[in-house]
A and B are shown apart, each in its own frame.
Chain A
Amino acid sequence: MVFDKNNYSPGTHPDLPPPLGTVGVVGWLKNNLFSSLSNSILTLLSLYLLYLLIEGGLSWFVVDAVVNANDKPGCRKIADGACWAVIVKRFDQFIYGFYPLAERWRIDVSFCLLFVAAAPLLYPDIKFRKYMLVFSCIYPFIAFILIKGGLFNLLMIETNLFGGAMLTVIIGVTSIACSLPLGILLALGRQSRLKLVKVISVCFIEFMRGVPLITLLFVASTMLNYFLPPGTNFNLLIRVIIMMTFFSAAYIAEVIRGGIQAIPKGQYEAADAIGLTYWQTTRFITLPQALKISIPGIVNTFIGLYKDTTLVVIIGLLDPLGIGRAALADTKWNGLSTETYLFVAVIFFISCFAMSRYSLWLEKKLSTDHN
């Protein structure tokens, strides 16, 4: 097939398919893996390494792995791959901490309802959004009563029994949900023309960013008692959540301030010219655009916050990492750190990866350029 451009008189040239080997699977392979001799050698070498890795990994992870055993020697007797028995035996602890067995359905129900409550906030196009948002508003109370108990014949559970992934989700989700609005207010406050509001916002942000989170958690666990009136027994978990919220709100505020500053001056002039008030401009013009620009930064901060919840180990709360360390301290499971930490890593990776994908999806959805 030879196309000669002279075969067509001007203005009658038809659309032709692209030359073979530039599109499709073959084209992709050629462009990406075998574009030159050195590239081809690297590709083959990588494939071989990948094969070694999978072969070795597979036997350790799956083929030689032990799931049923009562202790580490028990594992080793059967095979010398991964000893997943430590995870299996302590799985409930990894998820629920020391929450009483008979009451764990309350955690399960709260967790499922969390998705219902989060859906209308995360997916703006969802059906019946208005009604679902009402549920989102009352969900915190439902979850609190369900998890903590003490009302409606629900057994009261002390928060020191909370632990594992459930604790991570409680701290993470609550801090994330609270720090976004607080961060927005701080960002607006920092830009405010009211001097007092501005000074307070700047001081709060700079203080929270200037202090390591660990210090704040120590303050939460010990020093806060000195500041509170004597006799008040302020729950440690709530104190931790407040500190986490303040800490990430300061970062969120700075990320959003960056977004606000990226908005061209003309947007405010246009808003002024059609007669919008400051709050209307903030709500309809400033925030939608600033938040959209800030999505990657905001999600980045949230992922950081979520992983930083592991720091609560230091003040004695047992999140998955704490549970894992407790398991390793047990003489029965001594030395299985690879399995334990891998599992903990997976627990965190699932949530953080989900957040990251969601943010990509949202960015794409909100994009209003040519498409």
Chain B
Amino acid sequence: MNSENKNYVIKINEMHKWFGSFHVLKNINLEVGQGERIVICGPSGSGKSTLIRCINRLEVHQQGHISVNGIELSGDLKNLEAIRSDVGMVFQSFNLFPHLSVLENCTLAPIWVRKMPKKDAEELAMEYLERVKIPEQAQKFPGQLSGGQQQRVAIARALCMKPKIMLFDEPTSALDPEMIKEVLDTMIELAETGMTMLVVTHEMGFAKKVADRVIFMDEGEIIEQNTPKLFFTKPTNNRTKLFLSQILNH
């Protein structure tokens, strides 16, 4: 039990969060093991984004405990930046820095947060840009790339910090169908390297292919979680069934 305990990179315990008086997350309990790949799905407004944003403290929870890489997230945290830099995040709207080139987007944090020499940071960035298959775009600006390319740059930017955990918030929702595949392929490759991943997505094909566990959320609660196979074939909760029928039959 003890050795297993150590392998949890994220532990969320009886966590609650409110936006004003709106109870957005209710009694969340979640443990994520090293290298585990979790897909979170659920209807719009169910609190999926809020949940994963709590993990790198873009949102602050008010009750309960969250610990990431063994560090408890709380109000008197000293070096929040250090914790954040170990957790990569990819956003629905890419959020690349439009005034910096692709290469500069990727090297900014390694240079200033990891204190890496510029040359090493650039080599590292090129390595990851090659991984996401766009090394030739390194000198361009984000505004000159397609959506799919931008999202792959965003993934490379996050990977350049060598994070232990990667969070994805609907990474393909803002993309045209033909670009979704290139981003999903990148994510599948990343999953194969053993990265711990939490992915909010409605791409059920992706969930079936790479997820170790699928979590279904509704109205701020985790309603059901299971392996993809059981989740898709034998959902137990009625709301899960309804959600699955809506998402799979359209």
Residue ranges of A at the interface with B (Cβ–Cβ < 8 Å): 264, 266-267, 269-277, 280, 284-285, 288-289, 292, 366, 368-371
Contacts and interface: CB of A to CB of B under 8 A. Distances in A.
A274 B98 contact: no
B166 to A, nearest CB: 11
Contacts of B141: 368-369
Nearest to B84: A275
A275 B87 CA distance: 9
B143 A269 contact: no
A280 B115 CA distance: 13
A270 B99 contact: no
Given A368-B143, A370-B144, A275 B95 contact: no
Given A267-B97, A273-B89, A368-B144, 15 more contacts: A269-B89, A272-B56, A273-B58, A273-B88, A274-B109, A274-B161, A275-B85, A276-B108, A280-B113, A292-B99, A366-B99, A368-B99, A368-B142, A368-B143, A371-B144
A272 B143 contact: no
B158 A266 contact: no
A266 B154 CA distance: 12
A284 B111 CA distance: 12
A264 B161 CA distance: 23
Contacts of A285: 97
Main secondary structure of the interface of B (DSSP, over half): mixed
**Chain A residues touching B, majority SS:** helix
A315 to B, nearest CB: 42
B8 interface: no
B113 A274 contact: yes
Q: How many residues of B sit at the interface, in one of the four size bands?
A: 20 to 34
A341 B244 CA distance: 79
Contacts of B58: 269, 272-273
B100 to A, nearest CB: 8
25 contacts: A266-B93, A269-B91, A269-B95, A270-B95, A270-B96, A270-B97, A270-B154, A272-B56, A273-B84, A273-B89, A273-B91, A274-B84, A274-B88, A274-B157, A275-B161, A276-B81, A276-B108, A288-B99, A289-B99, A366-B99, A368-B98, A368-B141, A368-B143, A368-B144, A369-B143
B248 interface: no
Contacts of A289: 97-99
Nearest to A275: B85
B95 A284 contact: no
A207 B218 CA distance: 51
Contacts of B161: 274-275
A368 B89 CA distance: 24
B112 interface: yes
Nearest to A265: B95
Given A280-B112, A284-B108, A368-B143, A272 B99 contact: no
Contacts, number: 76
Nearest to A366: B99
Nearest to A370: B144
Contacts of A288: 99
Nearest to A283: B112
Contact of B112 (A273, A284, A371): A284
CB-CB nearest 7 A-B residue pairs:
A275-B85, A270-B95, A368-B141, A266-B95, A274-B109, A273-B89, A275-B81
Interface of B: 56, 58, 81-82, 84-85, 87-89, 91, 93, 95-100, 108-109, 112-113, 141-144, 154, 157-158, 161
Contacts of A292: 99
A275 B98 contact: no
Specify which of B82, B88, B99 lies most central, judged by the most chain A CB atoms within 10 Å of its CB.
B99
Contacts of A275: 81-82, 84-85, 109, 113, 161
Contact of A272 (B84, B100, B142): B84
Contact of A370 (B112, B113, B143): B143
Contact of A277 (B56, B81, B97): B81
Given A275-B113, A292-B99, A266 B91 contact: yes
Contacts of A266: 91, 93, 95
B34 to A, nearest CB: 21
Contact of A273 (B56, B82, B108): B56
A269 B97 CA distance: 11
A270 B154 CA distance: 9
A285 B113 CA distance: 14
A27 to B, nearest CB: 30
B103 to A, nearest CB: 13
A267 B113 contact: no
Contacts of A368: 98-99, 141-144
A292 B157 CA distance: 23
Contacts of B112: 276, 280, 284
Contacts of B154: 270
B10 to A, nearest CB: 16
A280 B96 CA distance: 16
A192 B143 CA distance: 30
A267 B84 CA distance: 15
Nearest to A284: B108
B41 to A, nearest CB: 22
